[in-house]
Amino acid sequence: MNKRITLADIAARTGLSASTVSMVLNNRPGSRIPEATAERVRAIAEELGYAPDRTARGLRTGRSEALGFISDEVTITRYASAMVRGILDAAEACNHAVLMAETDNHPRRLENAIRLMRTRHIDGIIVGLMRARQVDLPAGLGGLPVIIVNGKVDGYHAVLPDEYQAGLDAVNYLVAHGHRRIAFIGRAAVHLDPRVSWTIGRRISGIDTGMANAGLSFVHEVEGSDWEPELGYRGAAEIFDRGDITAIITANDRIAFGVYGVAQARGLSIPDDMSVLSFDDEQLASYVRPQVTTMRLPYLDMGQIAAELLFKQIAGEWCPTDSAEETLVRMPPVERSSVADLG
């Protein structure tokens, strides 16, 4: 069994005291140790394969150098896995590990995950949701720093996509490409319920504002709350039958896939016969032909920003009450080939 490398081992190799080595490897401020000496200590530590004893350090500092990430179904959904990647990248940059738990939307599992993570003395928790909606957290957090990503919990800071601006940007993009006879698929009153979605109402509001700003109204609308390809099939059939529309905004990519299916069945070309612009940027949006122009949900950025805010909260550099309850992250347009330029 290999012997664990200690500070004393590094001190013996460098000819320095163990306390000096400790100050270097723990990045203690005000040590006045020459940079050349510090570099030599770090090089020898790496050569020997030194790994800090996180348990001992935690006892000294009161921190575990670990975060908790609890999600409903984010970690098992490839579509939203970028959120996890963003959190892991930010944690690695701050020398933190991440403990992850999946609840599958079961309240008891959520309670158990929080309880178990507290026994590991984690420094803070990020709660991530697949669908941005308002949820409740159980008691037991006890002042632990918490950030919500892609969701809303009363009393906690949330990192969310800027859906309103994305709606505006989508309409502006079509108008800039010469489209004025536009249809929309996917409006539904149920999405105004914050327990169903905290952000989709903003997406629709941004779309409506963009249309009003351009002096336009939708030539045709197809309502529907089940945002799956079937709604796109039904909506596209109605829209194509009219023959006087140049572009369709679909409320998400799955609806757009249904529109593509009807176009193919009728021998129509996207974007020559009909332009399509969508939201979310699911992976399939880049696989279909032509690829879908869409507004991307910024999961990677949201995960990184959530972790960075949590670290600031842990360090006492930022308090959620110091600013708005939300941090909004831009949904960038992903310009592909499903929108024609009418000049």
Residues 6+ apart with CB under 8 A from 248: 182, 183, 184, 185, 235, 236, 239, 259, 274, 275, 276, 277
pLDDT of residue 322: 56
Q: What is the pLDDT of residues 295-332, one digit of tens each?
A: 999 999 999 999 999 999 888 877 776 556 899 999 99
Q: pLDDT above 70 covers what percent of the chain?
A: 91
Backbone angles phi, psi at 333, to 5 degrees: -70, 135
In this structure, whether the domain defined by 64-161+299-329 belongs to CATH 3.40.50.720 is answered with: no
pTM for the model stands at 0.81
pLDDT of residue 1: 42
Residue 206 pLDDT more than 50? yes
Token reading at 41: 């200590």
What is the residue extent of each domain of the chain?
7-52, 64-161+299-329, 163-297
pLDDT of residue 343: 81
pLDDT of residue 54: 55
Q: Supply the mean pLDDT for the chain.
A: 89
Mean pLDDT over residues 108-122, rounded? 88
CATH of region 7-52, choose from 1.10.10, 1.10.287, 1.10.260, 1.25.40: 1.10.260
Whether the domain at 64-161+299-329 and the domain at 163-297 fall into the same CATH topology: yes
pLDDT of residue 163: 97
What is the C-alpha radius of gyration for the chain, rounded to an integer number of angstroms?
26
Q: What is the pLDDT of residues 169-185, one digit of tens each?
A: 999 999 999 999 999 99
CATH of region 163-297, choose from 3.40.109.10, 3.40.50.2300, 3.30.70.580, 3.30.830.10: 3.40.50.2300
Q: What is the pLDDT of residues 73-106, one digit of tens each?
A: 876 777 678 999 999 999 888 889 999 999 988 8
